[in-house]
């Protein structure tokens, strides 16, 4: 049974209708409704069988679920250079937030010194989901032990009219406030973000259990008028 047959065997039409509501801009005709745990199980099997290289090269994919499987497969690759090469081929075809956000290569954890340069390239991209991916990787890998204050400048410098880019910037800074409060707060105090992103950052931070009541009160007072 080839990869396509295996995906079709896992389809769930009702779940596909649910997914379509969550991913505007993706045609429901492209959705099979394969659930993420099943995609991960299939990806692990394909990696053991070494039966995925041709699939990765067949871009663009027809189905959303193929894109999701592609992201899950890339997230499991163990060689950094191979992973980067496959990412560069795949990212231009990513056209929605779900495929973008499930893409999180494990191999990046051991390559953070090398990764930051690629993140700078991705966040500078005019392709919305390449940019979003770069900001997401910055949030995942550089707000804890490898944190450097200069990393906050990367998303703060992004200027976009795209909702899914600005939402990721807000998510990044809300997380930064929870993890690196002293370094992140000046970006709001000095109005370094667009008004919409600034206010969305405050909203998301005030919804977080990791932000104290005192911090939430301070953030409320920093909200800007549209």
| 166-220 per-position pLDDT tens digit | 999 999 999 999 999 999 999 999 999 999 999 999 999 999 999 999 999 999 9
CA-wise closest residue to 141 among 172, 163, 168, 165: 172
Q: Using DSSP, how many helices (H) and how many strands (E) does the chain show?
A: 14, 0
Statement: residue 81 has pLDDT above 80: yes
Based on the fold, state whether residues 55 and 128 are members of the same structural domain: no
Based on the fold, state whether residues 130 and 97 are members of the same structural domain: no
Based on the fold, state whether residues 75 and 121 are members of the same structural domain: no
Statement: residue 50 has pLDDT above 90: no
Domain boundary residue, one of 46, 78, 110: 110
pLDDT of residue 49: 82
Based on the fold, state whether residues 204 and 149 are members of the same structural domain: yes
92-115 core/surface letters (b: 16 or more CB in 10 A; e: else): eebbbbbbbbbbbbebbeebeeeb
Based on the fold, state whether residues 183 and 105 are members of the same structural domain: no
pLDDT of residue 106: 96
- pLDDT > 90 fraction of the chain, expressed in percent and rounded: 90
Query: CB of 169 within 8 A of CB of 158?
Result: yes
Based on the fold, state whether residues 106 and 121 are members of the same structural domain: no
Q: 67-71, 110-114, 140-144, 169-173 — which is least confidently predicted?
A: 110-114
pLDDT of residue 19: 93
Mean pLDDT for the stretch of residues 78-91 = 97
* Structural domain boundaries, residue 2: 1-110
Domain boundary residue, one of 89, 110, 131: 110
pLDDT of residue 1: 60
CATH (domain of 199): 1.25.40
Query: CB of 39 within 8 A of CB of 72?
Result: yes
Based on the fold, state whether residues 160 and 86 are members of the same structural domain: no
Tokens 């499987």, located at residue: 69
How many domains does the structure of the chain reveal? 2
Based on the fold, state whether residues 67 and 148 are members of the same structural domain: no
Cα gap 5→84, rounded to integer Å: 28
Domain boundary residue, one of 110, 144, 174: 110
In a domain, 226, yes or no: no
Cα gap 115→46, rounded to integer Å: 26
């Amino acid at each position: 049974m080839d990869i396509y047959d295996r995906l079709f065997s896992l389809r769930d039409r009702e779940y596909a209708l649910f997914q379509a509501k969550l991913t505007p801009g993706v045609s429901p005709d492209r959705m099979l409704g394969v659930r993420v745990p099943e995609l991960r199980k299939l990806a692990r099997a394909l990696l053991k069988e070494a039966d995925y290289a041709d699939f990765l090269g067949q871009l663009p994919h027809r189905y959303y679920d193929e894109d999701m499987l592609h992201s899950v497969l890339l997230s499991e690759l163990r060689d950094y250079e191979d992973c980067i090469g496959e990412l560069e081929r795949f990212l231009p075809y990513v056209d929605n937030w779900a495929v973008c956000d499930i893409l999180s290569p494990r191999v990046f954890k051991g390559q953070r010194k090398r990764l930051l340069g690629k993140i700078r390239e991705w966040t500078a991209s005019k392709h919305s989901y390449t940019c979003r991916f770069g900001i997401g990787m910055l949030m995942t890998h550089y707000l804890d032990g490898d944190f450097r204050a200069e990393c906050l400048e990367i998303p703060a410098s992004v200027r976009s009219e795209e909702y899914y880019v600005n939402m990721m910037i807000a998510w990044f800074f809300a997380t930064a406030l929870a993890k690196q409060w002293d370094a992140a707060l000046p970006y709001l105090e000095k109005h370094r973000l667009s008004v919409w992103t600034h206010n969305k950052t405050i909203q998301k931070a005030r919804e977080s259990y990791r932000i104290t009541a005192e911090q939430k009160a301070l953030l409320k007072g920093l909200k800007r008028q549209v």
